[in-house]
Amino acid sequence: MTMTKTNKHKILGILFLLILVSLAIYKYGSSIPLINKIPIFTDEHEHEYRPVFDEKGEIDYWTCAMHPSVRLKEPGQCPICGMDTVEVWKKDNSQTKPVTQAKVEDQDRAEDGEDMTGMQGHDHSRMGVPTKKDNGEEAKSTFSVSPQRQQLIGVKTEPVMVRTLDKEIRTVGMVTLDESKIYNVQTKFSGWIDRAYVDYKWQHVSIGQPLFSIYSPELVTAQEEYLLALKSKNILSDSQFTDISSGADSLLKASRRRLELLDVSASQIKELERTGEVKTNLTVYSPVKGHVAQKNAFENMHVEPNTLLYKIADHTTAWVQIDIYENEISLVKLGEKATMTLASFPGEVFEGEITFIWPHIDPETRTVKARLEFPNPDLRLLPEMYADVTLDIPMGEKLTIPDSAVLRTGKQDVVFVDKGNGDIEIRRVELGQKAGGYYEVLRGLKSGEQVVSRANFLIDSESKIQAAVATWGDEPQGDQEPTQKLEIQLEQEMDNDSETQQLELHNH
């Protein structure tokens, strides 16, 4: 009986120890290094390497997988989304260095895209927060990412340099009539239209093509007076009295002038002189080559000098009207060359130039209209045709950066400047026009500096960017120190994938 109790005590002791060991494994087993289970990566030189973790397995803090900015001392739930927090293990601080200092530079004196060396003596070492001092000096945020980590996440830099920019503006245009070459056809005498040779709108006419014939008593009288003056001139030309012969000449000239004022052509007057017969009907011819834009002439219609009979548009030059946005108005000048393509003529390019720019903005479209002229000798460009217009505007040599290097936060434009040795600086810039994939730099950078043009997600949290930009907007009063901090948690963000893999392994 005694042996049985002793055995039971031993068994219970063994079970108790097993329970303690199980609890210890359950609680501390996740801290066991899992290096052998972490995948092997290959760099651009085909060297294999494996991410290194602290074998001590000491937990640094708890965070949310969806909100890395959340840091808790104890496990729990994310105060933002309610997800369970995950542990973050301490790593070697040599991999990623925290913010060490803020280099204060006088960016307000950086004219023509050049940075001036900053004023020293104002301590921002507690946090690299962009801010402004009372004298207008602007601090800049600097952080460090090792070259190995930059290579891992695909960071690419490009130099700030002077480039020749050509701005290409694409817009849509519409073909219209050349208003300076629209001719009205009217008579300068009353009469009746005997016959209309051009009898429908938009009919094509050539110079000298008959439009209509008209009977006018006034015109008949003018012809008779001219024939009479011509006869008198022939009879009195040999008169011994100089006044009589000169009077006959003056009468003939006046009669001829009257016919010309009634739009009787020189060839018609010559025919009248040759035949000596008065024509009851006068034929009116087209003064230009083009299309009949308006027609009001009908046979047997009575007309007066103020009656508009035809409106003919000379369409050998076509107008094209385009819209230009407000931010591009300063680039567009008279005489700028333009090219045009139309769906009606695939593969064909028309060349023209800007001849007029409207002096006001359309309040509905917020654009400025401009007029282009294109040669149209064969009259293929028809009114109301839609066209794709391209303006190639040379901007000259400008200090530029790639457009992919710019982070637009709404009120400010910022770039990441590579200072070398893994140091990266967040800097505000002022930009001009964008052309050919590059921005013109007006202020904030100087030639030769390197800017990050790819993998700008190093600081991809909008809240962090906004925190930095907000401090630029306001100046502290007196000697007030900036209270808003830019928490750049680079370790958490750059190792997010590795931590996710580790979490998945722990769950297994």
Q: What's the pLDDT tens digit per position in 286-333?
A: 988 888 999 999 999 999 998 999 999 988 899 999 999 988 888 899
Q: What is the pLDDT of residue 49?
A: 45
**Residues 6 or more apart whose Cβ sits within 8 Å of residue 107:** 115, 116, 138, 140, 427, 428, 443, 444
Q: What are phi and psi for residue 112, nearest 5 degrees?
A: 55, 40
Q: What is the pLDDT of residue 86?
A: 86
Q: Has residue 466 got a pLDDT over 60?
A: no
Q: What is the pLDDT of residue 458?
A: 55
* Mean pLDDT score, 446-458: 80
Q: What is the pLDDT of residue 161?
A: 92
| More confident call, 298 vs 15 | 298
CA 326 to chain CA mean position, Å: 10
Q: Has residue 3 got a pLDDT over 60?
A: no
Q: Has residue 175 got a pLDDT over 70?
A: yes
| More confident call, 21 vs 364 | 364
* Mean pLDDT score, 6-24: 71
* Mean pLDDT score, 43-69: 63
CATH match for 102-164+396-467 among 3.50.50.60, 3.40.190.10, 3.90.550.10, 2.40.420.20: 2.40.420.20
Please answer whether residues 137 and 118 qualify as being in contact, where contact means their C-beta atoms are separated by less than 8 angstroms.
yes
* Mean pLDDT score, 110-119: 39
Q: What is the pLDDT of residue 359?
A: 92
| More confident call, 147 vs 228 | 228
Look at 104-113, 137-146, 390-399, 495-504 and tell me which has the smallest mean pLDDT. 104-113
Q: What is the pLDDT of residue 447?
A: 92
Share of the chain above pLDDT 70, in %: 69
pLDDT in tens, 148-174: 777 777 788 899 999 988 888 999 999
Q: What is the pLDDT of residue 81?
A: 82
Distance CA 314, CA 292 (A): 9
* Mean pLDDT score, 218-228: 91
User: What crossing angle do the helices spanning 266-275 and 217-236 adopt, rounded to 10°?
Assistant: 60
**Residues 6 or more apart whose Cβ sits within 8 Å of residue 100:** 125, 128, 142, 144
Q: Has residue 489 got a pLDDT over 80?
A: no
Using alpha carbons, list the distances in angstroms from residue 431 to 144, 405, 448: 26, 12, 17
Neighbouring CB atoms inside 10 A of 494's CB total: 19
| More confident call, 118 vs 182 | 182
* Mean pLDDT score, 370-387: 92
Q: How does residue 378 score in pLDDT terms, banded at 50, 70 and 90?
A: confident
Q: What is the pLDDT of residue 457?
A: 60
Distance CA 240, CA 303 (A): 47
Q: Has residue 480 got a pLDDT over 60?
A: no
* Mean pLDDT score, 71-91: 83
Look at 60-64, 151-155, 371-375, 383-387 and tell me which has the smallest mean pLDDT. 151-155
* Mean pLDDT score, 388-394: 91
Q: What is the pLDDT of residue 16?
A: 74
Q: Has residue 67 got a pLDDT over 50?
A: yes
Q: What is the pLDDT of residue 328?
A: 87
Q: Has residue 30 got a pLDDT over 60?
A: no
Please provide the average confidence, as pLDDT, over all residues in the chain. 75
Q: Has residue 478 got a pLDDT over 90?
A: no
Q: Has residue 23 got a pLDDT over 60?
A: yes
Residue written as token pair 């840091």? 71
pTM above 0.85, yes or no: no
* Mean pLDDT score, 443-467: 68
CATH class of the domain comprising 168-178+315-394:
mainly beta
Distance CA 252, CA 246 (A): 10
pLDDT in tens, 332-343: 999 999 999 999
